[in-house]
Structure 1
Amino acid sequence: MAENKESFKDKAKSAKDRVAGEIKDTQGDLTGDKSKKAEGKIQKGKGKAEGALGKLKEEPDTDRRPR
């Protein structure tokens, strides 16, 4: 599959958000800061969504509805 610029950008943002989210999550664990931990979990979720978007942009335009 050919990777276009947009899918690459989404995957790069995904990796950045997943790593930053993991750092915040761990920081929250170590310091007992529930707010920081929650912020990290949200950012990791955002990263996962961006990764999924990048994968969708790679796929050829086809009908994705289940048959």
Structure 2
Amino acid sequence: MTARSVGAGGPDRGLDAVRSRKDRLEPPTPGQIARLVGKAVSVSEERFCVATRAGCQRRPGAGWTT
């Protein structure tokens, strides 16, 4: 097990913070997070609906019609 795999509280946490400042990396804004989560939910719902509809079409005797 390496020091890096210890987790967020591991010994490399301080080094990661220094690297982030040096590379000018910033955490995402709340708006960026909201857009990302919204897109993920939308894609997930679309895939669920497509899969559900495809499953219903394969079983025409199950009482569902399209």
RCO greater where, 1 or 2, for CA within 8 Å and sep 6 or more?
Answer: 1
Query: Rg bigger for which structure?
Result: 2
Q: TM-score range by the shorter chain?
A: 0.3 to 0.5
More helix by share: 1
Normalising by structure 2, what TM-score? Answer: 0.44
